[in-house]
Amino acid sequence: MAGIAAGGSRRSALAPWLLVAPGVLWLLAFYLVPTLTLARTSFATGDLPWYDGYQRAFTDYGQHMLRSFGYALTATIAAILLGYPLAYVMAFRADRLKNFLLGLVILPFFTTFLVRTFAWKTILNDGGPVVNLLGTLHLLPADGRLLNTIWAVIGGITYNFLPFMILPIYVSLEKIDRRLTEAAQDLYCNQFTAFRKVVLPLSLPGVLAGSLLTFIPASGDFLNAELLGSPNQKMLGSVIQGQFLTVRDYPLAAALSFALMALITILVVMYARALGTEDLA
């Protein structure tokens, strides 16, 4: 943070430590320590080699991992395609409706996420209006179903995390100085070029933040796959939950969980590098 906080020099250097102590200790005890415990659990294979959990995680559940990342990636791209234009309209075209639209975007948070996912089950049900409409347009797969398909699962995931994509993009668009686009147009940029050369680059931090807020939870999500999909769409989160809570193969479950986190971290760093922005906070 730039600048010198007022009065900082006058106060004792102990004050900020005391202020952050309860929260930071809580996070250390119940975020950092558990993560380390998880790592330890993943190696606690008994007589088997230490990497046994990881070996089984990648050989037996590699496809679930790939599927989870594939679904999360597709949902993230879909959320950008759906969310960016909406955020753009909110920031540049909505005028006085801006705050109202913002309220509409966060409204879904106020109904339980699980109940909303069940509502999709109703909407996509066989014989429902959506299935009938798409059926008439011959847009459905051969068996004429939407529920229990990959499309229902990805649609559900996209839906769940869409507001997390819209809000950061909106914030970054909102911050853009309007005079910049005017200047671009004065310099004979057409509207599309002005967007491509000025607005889009300046909104990339928002796209980055939104993508992370979508991709990360989406890759660990399993409710959409469980409620809207069939066993063919089972995601890694389901496997982790089953191994932890039902099978109780803790080393395998911990290895799966830890591998998921490590892979996400790698992907996130690569993505942040590619977009050229690294301040996520």
Residues 76-105 within binding reach of another protein (CB under 8 A): 82-83, 85-86, 88-90, 92-93, 101, 103-105
CB of 143 to another protein, least distance (A): 19
CB of 140 to another protein, least distance (A): 18
Compute the half-sphere exposure of residue 272: CA atoms within 13 Å on the CB side of its CA: 14
Q: Applying CB under 8 A, what is the total number of residues that bind another protein? A: 99
Nearest to 225 by CA among 145, 110, 117: 117
Instruction: By CB under 8 A, tell whether 247 contacts another protein.
Output: no
Which residues, numbered 108-167, are part of the site for another protein (CB under 8 A)?
Answer: 108-123, 125, 159, 162-163
CB of 138 to another protein, least distance (A): 21
SS3 137: coil
> Which range in 17-25, 46-54, 57-65, 136-144 contacts another protein by CB under 8 A?
17-25
User: What's the CA angle centered on 98, arms 93 and 99, to 5 degrees?
Assistant: 175
Nearest to 172 by CA among 266, 74, 80: 80
Which residues, numbered 55-74, are part of the site for another protein (CB under 8 A)?
Answer: none
- Measured from the Cβ of residue 18, the count of other Cβ atoms closer than 10 Å reads 9
Nearer to another protein, 7 or 46 (CB): 7
Euclidean distance between CA atoms 44 and 170, whole angstroms: 46
